[in-house]
Structures are given as structure tokens and as C-alpha cells.
Amino acid sequence: MSQGTPSLRLHVPEPTGRPGHETDFSYLHLSRAGEVRRPPVEASPADTSDLAYTLVRVLDEEGRAVGPWVPEADAALLRRGLVAMMKTRIFDARMLIAQRQKKISFYMQCLGEEAIATGHALALAPGDMCFPTYRQQGLLLARDDVSMVDMICELLSNERDPLKGRQLPVCYSMKRAGFFSISGNLATQFIQAVGWGMASAIKGDTRIASAWIGDGATAESDFHTALTFAHVYRAPVILNVVNNQWAISTFQAIAGGEATTFAARGVGCGIASLRVDGNDWLAVLAASRWAAERARGNLGPSLIEWVTYRAGAHSTSDDPSRYRPADDWQHFPLGDPIARLAQHLRGIGAWSDEEHEKTQADLEAQVSAALKEAERYGSLADGHLHGAAAMFEDVYEHMPPHLQAQRRQLEQFQKG
């Protein structure tokens, strides 16, 4: 060591809040509602630099919709958004209980993040394809043509599970609803979405792709490949980064979020980027529409960082009280997306407390009925599953001889 030169120190980011210590959310760099400009959809990526460091917001503290990002949306659509969010939250809560009752082996909620997937789903067109992570169930629950019973059968791994019991709960696949098969391997779908968008462009189609990733998974190499390919080929894709501040127990700073934003990565790769209040349903709708219009108009990809907070545990196998303050969500400055949209709708006279309560009760009944119906087809716990022979199917298009032999072996073994 040379004299007079300070010794080097390794910097390991830490969240300000830990169990027993309140989080200082000033790191978020928030903007006031209505404050951030709305560029034309033709904007060049470099012209979105400022938007990567500010925050697009529509709903103010009083629940009024203000500024250039107020979307054209009638009360019926907004009510639909609110109901979709409520349905998602109720679905999650009920499935969490089902997991605690050991009906389901595993579950992951999206508590606090309901606005992002539901708002985005209603900005897309039929035929568009989403490449979700395991925390975008709102993409399915926002759609009236998706059966909750089918979803729950997947969670139960029962005889009617469309995935034949092969996947962990939550790893849905629903091509007809524009919902790509969920993989346990993080970030892999982000580049696949870009490839899907490239394919649509190669064929001269009009459909676009929507890619999804969390803050933690942006550290995976496929995040980088997706941005590079999307930029190089000007792929019609929306690259969604859901920054819920936490990757299991690691704070977003350890994913590379300290003193920067995930939206800024997009600008660095030559992609038009926005940073948006993920708990503001109107902002979600408006930004998603902007990005979809851009993609559909051959104007290139967009990246959107949705700033939100993972209000619940990472999964049913996780206990967040071991690494963050128990009351953290209450202090998160962007609040609760359901409360905020309900406040707005009440403000414009399109919602009431009575309606809220009635809708809540109706949705609870709907989810309970769906669970009850799904349970009629069995569950992992009661052994009503797809037969073991189904295990050998779909590895290849046609079952090769070695798998036929292994299936026979198992059948003979089971016969005894």
C-alpha cells in the first residue's frame, strides 16, 4: 500500500429500512402528478432521457386526474380496471389461504402491484403476446375470457390442470389469452418476447409483444440481450420492468438501482424509456397505450420502469419480517393502487362505498365458487391428478422409444 493513498473499500448497498427501522423512501425520486411531460410517440430514444429519471403520474393526492398523461378513458373502463384489481387481490388472498390449508403447495401474490398488469392488459389488443413473470396474474384476471377455474386447476395440479400437473403453481400458460408459458428461470422470457416481436415484424403482422421482468432479475444477462436485440432490430415490443423494490430479501439497490433507475438502462441502449407510477392505474393505462402505439407504428421498442412496492411476502415460502420493516407498505409514498383508483372514481361520481363493498362481496363469492368448482377436479393433496403416464408425454412431439420403454417400466412397477 502506498503512503497517503486511502485504502480501497468494497461498497455493499443496504436498504435504509430493516426490521425495527423505518425505510427512508427519499431514494425514489418522485415527481408530482401531472408534472412530467408526455412526448409524442415518435420521440427519439435520446429525447426520453429526462423521462427515465422522473416519474409519470396522473392521480394526485386528492385522487384527481391531472396533466398531459390523463388517458382517454370513460368511467366504464376505469371501473373495469378497479374491478380487475380488486379481483386480483381477492384471488391472491383466497389462494394464499388455500396454500395455508395445504390445498395448494405454493403460491405467490402480487399484493400492491395489481394496477400494472391489469392496466397494461387493457391497453393491449387481442393477439398481442405477453411474456410474463410469475407476478403478472393480473394480465389473466383482467380478462373476462379467462376462466378462474382453469387458473385454480393449475394451482391445484388436479385432473383438469391444463398443464397436466407438470408445473409449479402460478406458472400458468395460456396462449389463447396472449399469456406465454411461465418459466422458473428468471429473465429468460425477456429476450423471448423480443424474438416474438421480431417474428411478428418478419411476417408483416400487426401484433406486438410485451415483456415482463422484475427489478432483481434485470441483473440477469437476458435483460441485457433483450434490450440489445430490441434496439438492434427495432422490435415491436414493450419491455416492462416492475420495480417493486425487492427481490426476495435483496433491496433493489443490490440489483444496481442505487443512484440510478432501471428506465435509464433503456435510454443507454437506445430505447425510448419511461418511469411510471406503478400504483396509478391511469398512468399505467396511459403509458402502456403510448408504448403499444409506438410499437404498433413501427416506431420501435419502449422500456417502462413501473415504480411500485411488493406489499406481500415474496412467496408462501418467504417471511419478509426477517429483512424489512413490518409496516413498510404503509409508508410507501405511492400508496395502494386500489385505494387510489377508488378515490378517483368516487371523486368523479362513478363509484361509491356501497358499490365497493358490494363488488368486494361479489368478487369474494366468485373466487370462492371458482375454487370450489376447481376442487371438484381434485388437488395435489387428495391425489386426483393426471395419471403418471402423462409425465412422459410432450417431452417431444412424438414419444421416442426410450420414453415409451420408461413409461412401460413405470406401469409394470406400479402394477407390482
Binding site for other proteins (CB under 8 A): 129, 131, 162-164, 166-167, 171, 173-175, 180-181, 183-185, 188, 191-203, 209, 221-222, 225-226, 228-229, 232, 394-397, 400-402
Q: How far is the CB of 73 from other proteins (least distance, A)?
A: 30
User: Which DSSP helix (H) or strand (E) runs through 47?
Assistant: none
What's the rounded Cα separation, in Å, for the pair 58 and 67?
Answer: 6
- With respect to other proteins, which residue has the nearer C-beta, 193 or 286? 193
- Which one-letter amino acid corresponds to residue 405? A
Q: How far is the CB of 131 from other proteins (least distance, A)?
A: 7
- With respect to other proteins, which residue has the nearer C-beta, 200 or 245? 200
Angle between helices 75-100 and 114-121 (to 10 degrees): 130
- With respect to other proteins, which residue has the nearer C-beta, 34 or 195? 195
Q: How far is the CB of 189 from other proteins (least distance, A)?
A: 8
What's the rounded Cα separation, in Å, for the pair 77 and 350?
Answer: 11
- With respect to other proteins, which residue has the nearer C-beta, 209 or 272? 209
Q: How far is the CB of 118 from other proteins (least distance, A)?
A: 23
- With respect to other proteins, which residue has the nearer C-beta, 204 or 349? 204
Phi and psi for 238 in degrees, rounded to 5?
Answer: -105, 120
- DSSP state letters, 113-162: -HHHHHHHHTTS-TT-EEE--TT-THHHHT-TTS-HHHHHHHHHT-TT-T
Q: How far is the CB of 162 from other proteins (least distance, A)?
A: 6
Q: How far is the CB of 391 from other proteins (least distance, A)?
A: 9
Task: State whether residue 211 is helix, strand or coil.
Answer: strand
- Kindly list the distances between the CA atom of residue 1 and the CA atoms of 4, 9, 10, 11, 379, in Å, as whole numbers in the listed order: 9, 13, 16, 19, 64
Q: How far is the CB of 188 from other proteins (least distance, A)?
A: 5
- With respect to other proteins, which residue has the nearer C-beta, 11 or 398? 398
Q: Are 315 and 321 in contact (CB under 8 A)?
A: no
What's the rounded Cα separation, in Å, for the pair 254 and 246?
Answer: 9
- With respect to other proteins, which residue has the nearer C-beta, 39 or 195? 195
- With respect to other proteins, which residue has the nearer C-beta, 6 or 401? 401
- With respect to other proteins, which residue has the nearer C-beta, 19 or 400? 400
Q: How far is the CB of 220 from other proteins (least distance, A)?
A: 9
User: Where does residue 410 rank: exposed (0-12), middle (13-18), buried (19+ CB within 10 A)?
Assistant: middle
Q: Copy the grid coordinates of residue 123.
A: 391497453
Q: How far is the CB of 387 from other proteins (least distance, A)?
A: 14
CA 255, 256, 261, 264 dihedral sign is negative
Q: Copy the grid coordinates of residue 116.
A: 400494472
Longest dimension (CA), the chain: 79
Q: Copy the grid coordinates of residue 101.
A: 390449508
